[in-house]
């Protein structure tokens, strides 16, 4: 990622870490106070590392061992309601088991931050990368940030806390199973004093331990009141868009890596078509676009960083400037299509913007997606745009035929 002009000079702490360790270090640097988690592959090493920090006396964190993810999130909810900064992590079936509690955390407006290590849902049993687990939690009211690499995992957790605590909505930072979680990369970490300046202690809306002003959390709302609370959560998501951009810009100014856009764009201006996708997949795509450009393809990329709240305006802007969009979905909504595809198409309807859009289902369950694959898709998109005809809307790209 490019350095931002005018960003402050500081000496980063350079560490070669896995995505999971990057997440654990970010939680440490964010000075989380409570962690409740249950180990599940491939998330396990996040909480192992946090347990190690605690054992070594490097962190003053209350670690709550629990018997399942449902309890983990319940414990996080309780801790967050007291006003603490709370962190947890999970994957796939574990995240699914949390489902009910995810609604609870968002509904109660508790800014918990969780790392979900994307892992395919079973059966067939799989521990490899697939975004369907996190996207199935789309409607729980959690914000979602998709990291492309280990640096973005680290930065994402720090930013997620700041955004979550500003709008009082929980946030998920999502990374790929093994591709990031267990792969080591150089990550530039930020000295503690500078993180502290960026992320001051949490100021909760209400706390359970303010005995002079008692509150009851999660009490009953009859039909006379429920609706208004839903609207407030919806509005918080809308407000979060501005906060995300501001926090992303501030992060860039302070630390040199700019996240002021909810969608990271490249070569958009003169592109005939772009690849749109999320997560580690987009690292491969960016590499491919560099090569394709040299070969004369007028192609760009749009990496969706924040999926919730959904960057409607930015998608429209991209669609206005291109003839085609190849949406790469490492996920699938059965009975319909790739989830990002649905969302991206949906926002364009009332704008009257109609680039040709094709949905490529790729990489499910950890299937490799390579630069070569991106090239084949680019070739296909080129043909579609030249002919103006979409052969089929949804392509199961890797299928053995």
Partner 1 sequence: MNTLFGKMKEEAKVISPKSVDEYPEAPVSLGTTLINFTGDWRTFMPVIDESKCVKCYICWKFCPEPAIYIKEDGFVAIDYDYCKGCGICANECPTKAITMVREEK
Name the site residues for partner 1 (rule: CB under 8 A). 107-110, 168, 205-206, 213-221, 225, 228-229, 231-232
Q: What's the min distance (Å) between Cβ of 218 and partner 1? A: 7
Among residues 216 and 399, whose Cβ is nearest to partner 1?
216
Among residues 242 and 383, whose Cβ is nearest to partner 1?
242
Among residues 184 and 231, whose Cβ is nearest to partner 1?
231
| CA pair distance 71, 64, nearest whole angstrom | 10
Among residues 225 and 393, whose Cβ is nearest to partner 1?
225
Q: What's the min distance (Å) between Cβ of 168 and partner 1? A: 6
Pairing of strands 86-90, 34-37: parallel
| CA pair distance 225, 212, nearest whole angstrom | 25
Q: What's the min distance (Å) between Cβ of 219 and partner 1? A: 4
Q: What's the min distance (Å) between Cβ of 211 and partner 1? A: 11
**Could you tell me which of 375, 302, 391, 291 has the C-alpha nearest to residue 343?**
302
Q: What's the min distance (Å) between Cβ of 106 and partner 1? A: 10
| CA pair distance 60, 75, nearest whole angstrom | 17
Burial of 177 (0-12, 13-18, 19+ CB in 10 A): buried
How many residues make up the chain in this entry?
401
Please give the backbone phi and psi of residue 64, each rounded to the nearest 5 degrees, phi first: -105, 110
Q: Locate 334 and state its tokens.
A: 């059965």
Q: What's the min distance (Å) between Cβ of 111 and partner 1? A: 10
Count Cβ neighbours within 10 Å for each residue of 14-48 and write b for 16 or more, e otherwise: ebebbbbbbbbbbbbbbbbbbbbbbbbbbbbbbbe
Rg (CA), the chain: 21
Among residues 186 and 215, whose Cβ is nearest to partner 1?
215
Among residues 219 and 399, whose Cβ is nearest to partner 1?
219
């Amino acid at each position: 990622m490019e350095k931002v002009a005018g960003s402050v000079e500081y000496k980063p702490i350079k560490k070669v870490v896995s995505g999971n360790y990057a997440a654990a270090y970010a939680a440490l640097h964010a000075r989380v106070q409570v962690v409740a988690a249950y180990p599940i592959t491939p998330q396990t090493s996040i909480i192992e590392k946090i347990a190690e920090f605690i054992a070594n006396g490097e962190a003053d964190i209350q670690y709550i061992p629990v018997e399942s993810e449902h309890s983990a999130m319940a414990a996080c909810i309780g801790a967050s309601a007291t006003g603490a900064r709370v962190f947890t992590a999970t994957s796939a079936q574990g995240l699914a088991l949390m489902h009910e509690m995810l609604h609870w955390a968002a509904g109660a407006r508790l800014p918990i931050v969780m790392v979900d290590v994307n892992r395919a849902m079973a059966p067939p049993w799989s521990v490899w990368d697939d975004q369907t687990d996190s996207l199935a939690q789309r409607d729980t009211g959690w914000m979602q940030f998709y990291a492309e690499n280990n640096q973005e995992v680290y930065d994402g957790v720090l930013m997620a806390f700041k955004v979550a605590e500003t709008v009082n909505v929980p946030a998920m930072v999502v990374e790929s199973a093994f591709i990031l979680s267990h792969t080591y990369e150089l990550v530039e970490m930020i000295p503690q004093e500078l993180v502290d300046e960026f992320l001051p202690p949490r100021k909760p809306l209400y706390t359970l331990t303010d005995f002079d002003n008692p509150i009851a959390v999660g009490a009953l709302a009859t039909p006379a009141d429920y609706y208004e609370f839903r609207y407030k959560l919806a509005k918080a998501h809308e407000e979060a868009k501005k906060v995300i951009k501001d926090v992303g810009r501030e992060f860039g100014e302070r630390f040199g890596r700019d996240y002021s856009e909810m969608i990271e764009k490249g070569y958009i201006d003169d592109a005939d078509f772009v690849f749109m996708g999320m997560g580690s997949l987009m690292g491969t795509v960016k590499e491919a676009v560099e090569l394709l450009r040299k070969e004369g393809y007028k192609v760009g990329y749009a990496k969706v960083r924040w999926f919730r709240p959904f960057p409607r305006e930015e998608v429209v802007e991209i669609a206005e400037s291109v003839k085609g969009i190849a949406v790469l979905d490492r996920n699938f909504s059965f009975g319909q299509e790739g989830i990002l595809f649905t969302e991206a198409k949906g926002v364009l309807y009332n704008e009257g913007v109609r680039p040709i859009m094709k949905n490529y289902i790729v990489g499910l369950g950890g299937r490799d997606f390579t630069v070569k694959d991106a090239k084949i898709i680019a070739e296909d998109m080129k043909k579609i745009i030249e002919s103006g005809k979409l052969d089929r809307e949804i392509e199961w790209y890797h299928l053995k035929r």
